[in-house]
A and B are shown apart, each in its own frame.
Chain A
Amino acid sequence: MNGREYSEPLAKLTFGIFAGLVGLMITAMLVLFVKESLPFLTDSAVFSLFDKHWTPISTQFSYYGILPLLAGSVLVTVTALLIAIPLGLMAGVYLAEIAGTRERELLKPTIELIAGLPTVLLGFAGFVLIVPLVKSLFGLSIGLTALTGAVVLAFMVLPTIITISDEALRAIPSSYKHAGLALGGGRLQTILKVSIPSAKRGILAAILLGFSRAIGETVIVVLLTGNSAQLSLHPFLPVRTITATIFGEIGGTVVGTTHYSALFTMGLILFLLALTCNTIAYRFLNRTVQL
C-alpha cells in the first residue's frame, strides 16, 4: 500500500526532472554557443566578419570574412532547392491528390526511406556516381563543384518536401475540393486554384524545413563540393560552405584562440538561422492542421 501512495508523487517528480533536464539542455546549447562566440564578437577581428576573405591562419593578417562561406552555403542550398522544390511539390501533389491508395502505400514509404539514410552514404554514392558525371558532362577539370553537392543535397531533402506537402494537402477538408469540382473546375484546376492555395502554409513549411536541412548538412558538402573558400556564385566551381569550414577547421584550432571562437560564431549564425526556419515552419504546420 505504501508503495502505491508514493508512486504517484515519485512518478511526477521523476518525469518533472527529466523535463527539466531537456529544458536545461536547450538553454545550455544557446548559452554555450554565445559564450564560445563572445571572445570573437568582442575582438577587433570581428570587423572583418563581412570581409571577402576567410584566411584565419594567415601569417600577415587574419581575415574572418563570412561572405565567401555564406556564398558557398547559399549557392549550394539554393541550387539544391531549385531542383528539389519543383520535383518535391509535383510528387507531393501526385501522392495527395492523384495516386490511388495502393500506389500511395507503395510509394510513400519508399520515398520516406531516403530521409533515414545516413548522409555519408549519399555522399559516397555521389562521390562514385555524380562527381565523374558532372566532370564529363560539363567538361570540367574537376568534378567537385557546388552543383555536384547540390544534386545530392536535392535528393536528400526531397522526402522532407514531399512528405510535408503531401500531408498539408491531405489536411485540407475534402469539401473544399468538392466545391472546386462542383463549380466545374477540372481535376488540375481544382488542385491549382483550391488545394495548393489552401495548403500554402504547409507547403511553405516544407520548403523552410528543406532549406534548414540543406544549409546545415555537413558530410555531403565536405565530400562533394571541393572545399575552396572563394567568393563566387558559379555552380561549376568548387565552393566551401559554413558547415564544411566548421567541420574542417575546428579540430585543428587551439581552444580559446580567435579562430576557435570565430568558428563558434559561424556555428551560432547557422544555429539561429536553422532554429528560426524550423520554428516558423512548425508554427505554420500547426495552423494547417487546425484549418
Chain B
Amino acid sequence: MTRYEPAIILLLRATTWGVALLTIAFIIFVLLNGANALFSASGYSSGTFGMPTDILPPLLGSLLLTITTLLFALPIGIGTAIWLTEFAGQSRLIDYLRLVTIAFSALPSIIYGLFGMALFVLTLGGGISFISGVGTLTCLLIPTIVVISDEALRSVPQGYRTASLALGATRWTTVRTAVLPIALSSIVTGAILGIGRIIGSAAPLMLTATVFYSGTISFSPFNPVAALPVHLFYAMGASDPIAPSVTAPLLLVLTLVLYLVAFGVRRISSRRITANE
C-alpha cells in the first residue's frame, strides 16, 4: 500500500484539479462561443431563424421575476427561521419541521413547477402569467431561505442572547439588536446563492409563467413573461446558431456575478469577525 501511495495521491489530486479545471473550461467555452457568435452575426437580421436577437425582454423578465420573488420569499423565509430558533422553543415537532423543510429545499424543481401549475395557474385561476411564476418561484425558494437563515441564527453563540436578555431586553429586541446583525452576512450569502437557483430555473417557469417569446411581450403581471433560461431553451430547439450562443453568456455572467458577490460578502464578514475577536 505504501509503495503505491505517491501514485494514488497524484491520481486523487489530478481528479480534483480536473473537476475544477472542467468548470473553468466550461465558463471559457460559453464566453468564447458567445463572442464568436456575435462577431459572425454581421449581416444577421433579427428573426432570421425565427428567434428575435433582442434579449432585453427576457433579461428584464428574469430580473423582475427574481426581485418580486425575493420580496415574498425573504420575509417569509427569514421570519420562519426566526420563529423556529427564537420563539418556538425545543421540541420533537420542531426538529421534524426542520428536517422536512431541509428535505423540501432539495426537491426537484419540476415538482415545484407542477405544484405551481396546479395551485396558481389552475386552482387560483392565475393562468400562465407573471404572478403564477412569482408564486411558484417563491414556493421553490422559501425552504432554502428558511434552512440557510435557521443555520445562521443557530450558529450565533447562546451567550449573545443571554447577555441581552439579562439586560432586560425582550426576545424580539434581542433578536433585532444582538442576534440578527451577527447572522446577517451568512443569511445574505445564502440568499444570493438562492437567487442563482431561481434566476436559472427553466422548467418551473415553463409550466407556469412563460410562452415562446416571439419578439413582442407586454409587461403585465397577468400576462406571460419572457425569461432568460427559457429563452435559451427555446433558442436551442429552434436550431438557431446565433440566439443560444448569445443568450448563454448573458445568463452565465449574471450567475457568476451573483456568486462572486456572495463569495465576497462571506470573505469580508469572516475577516471582520476574526478582527473583532
Segment at the B interface, from A24-32, A51-59, A194-202, A229-237: A24-32
| Chain A residues with CB below 8 A from B24, complex form | 110
Q: Which residue of B lies closest to A223 (CB)?
A: B236
Cα–Cα, bound, A214→B101 (Å): 20
| Chain A residues with CB below 8 A from B172, complex form | 7-8, 11-12
**Min CB–CB distance B208 → chain A (angstroms):** 10
Contacts A15-B79, A15-B82, A116-B193 given; indicate if A121 touches B251 (C-beta within 8 A).
Answer: yes
Cα–Cα, bound, A121→B182 (Å): 35
| Chain A residues with CB below 8 A from B109, complex form | 216, 218
Cβ of A48 within 8 Å of any chain B Cβ, yes or no, is: no
Cβ of B19 within 8 Å of any chain A Cβ, yes or no, is: yes
Contact indicator B203/A113 (Cβ below 8 Å): no
Contacts A12-B171, A274-B107 given; indicate if A98 touches B9 (C-beta within 8 A).
Answer: yes
Q: Which residue of B lies closest to A158 (CB)?
A: B19
Apart from A15-B87, A91-B12, A128-B33, 10 more pairs, CB < 8 Å = A16-B87, A87-B19, A107-B20, A111-B19, A116-B258, A129-B29, A158-B19, A223-B236, A267-B114, A278-B106
Contact indicator A16/B203 (Cβ below 8 Å): no
Instruction: Give the residues from 226 to 271 in chain B that come closer than 8 angstroms, CB to CB, to chain A.
Output: 229, 232-233, 236, 244, 248, 251-252, 255-256, 258-259, 263
| Chain A residues with CB below 8 A from B107, complex form | 216, 271, 274-275, 278
Cα–Cα, bound, A122→B87 (Å): 42
Contact indicator A18/B110 (Cβ below 8 Å): no
Contact of B30 among A7, A121, A217, A270 (CB under 8 A): A121
Instruction: Give the residues from 22 to 63 in chain A that come closer than 8 angstroms, CB to CB, to chain B.
Output: 22-23, 25-26, 28-29, 32-33, 36
Contact indicator A110/B15 (Cβ below 8 Å): no
Contact indicator A16/B83 (Cβ below 8 Å): yes
| Chain A residues with CB below 8 A from B110, complex form | 216, 218, 243, 246-247, 267, 270
Chain A 78-120 near chain B by CB (<8 Å), digits 1 or 0: 0000000001001101110011000000110111011011111
Contact indicator B12/A93 (Cβ below 8 Å): yes
Cα–Cα, bound, A275→B111 (Å): 11
Cα–Cα, bound, A219→B232 (Å): 11
Segment at the B interface, from A64-72, A134-142, A168-176, A182-190: A182-190
Cα–Cα, bound, A238→B104 (Å): 31
Contact indicator A283/B108 (Cβ below 8 Å): no
| Chain A residues with CB below 8 A from B173, complex form | 7-8
Cα–Cα, bound, A212→B102 (Å): 13
Contacts A118-B200, A121-B251, A125-B29 given; indicate if A267 touches B99 (C-beta within 8 A).
Answer: no
Contact of A250 among B16, B26, B103, B207 (CB under 8 A): B207
Interface SS of chain B: helix, strand, loop or mixed? helix
A-B pairs with beta carbons under 8 A, tally: 236
Contact indicator A251/B87 (Cβ below 8 Å): no
**Min CB–CB distance B85 → chain A (angstroms):** 10
Instruction: Give the residues from 159 to 214 in chain B that come closer than 8 angstroms, CB to CB, to chain A.
Output: 170-173, 175, 193, 196-197, 199-203, 206-207
Contact indicator A186/B23 (Cβ below 8 Å): no
Instruction: Give the residues from 84 to 125 in chain B that come closer than 8 angstroms, CB to CB, to chain A.
Output: 84, 86-88, 97, 99-104, 106-111, 113-115, 117-119, 122-123
| Residues of B in contact with A (beta carbons under 8 Å apart) | 1-2, 4-5, 8-9, 11-13, 15-17, 19-20, 22-24, 26, 29-30, 33, 75-77, 79-80, 82-84, 86-88, 97, 99-104, 106-111, 113-115, 117-119, 122-123, 139, 142-143, 146, 170-173, 175, 193, 196-197, 199-203, 206-207, 229, 232-233, 236, 244, 248, 251-252, 255-256, 258-259, 263
Contact indicator A209/B106 (Cβ below 8 Å): yes
Contact indicator A118/B201 (Cβ below 8 Å): yes
Contact indicator B19/A274 (Cβ below 8 Å): no
Q: Which residue of B lies closest to A159 (CB)?
A: B19
Contact indicator A8/B171 (Cβ below 8 Å): yes
Cα–Cα, bound, A26→B87 (Å): 21
Q: Which residue of B lies closest to A256 (CB)?
A: B122
Contact indicator A247/B203 (Cβ below 8 Å): yes
**Min CB–CB distance B169 → chain A (angstroms):** 10
Cα–Cα, bound, A116→B144 (Å): 13
Instruction: Give the residues from 205 to 224 in chain A that come closer than 8 angstroms, CB to CB, to chain B.
Output: 209, 212-213, 215-219, 223
| Chain A residues with CB below 8 A from B19, complex form | 87, 91, 111, 114, 158, 162
| Chain B residues with CB below 8 A from A14, complex form | 79
In order of increasing CB-CB distance, the 4 nearest A-B pairs are: A216-B108, A118-B200, A18-B79, A15-B83
| Chain A residues with CB below 8 A from B115, complex form | 28-29, 32-33
Contact of B119 among A32, A215, A217, A243 (CB under 8 A): A32
Contacts A8-B172, A18-B79 given; indicate if A114 touches B23 (C-beta within 8 A).
Answer: yes
Cβ of A133 within 8 Å of any chain B Cβ, yes or no, is: no
Contact indicator B23/A250 (Cβ below 8 Å): no
| Chain A residues with CB below 8 A from B16, complex form | 90-91, 94-95, 99, 107, 111
Contact indicator A32/B22 (Cβ below 8 Å): no
Contacts A33-B114, A250-B207 given; indicate if A87 touches B33 (C-beta within 8 A).
Answer: no
Cα–Cα, bound, A254→B244 (Å): 31
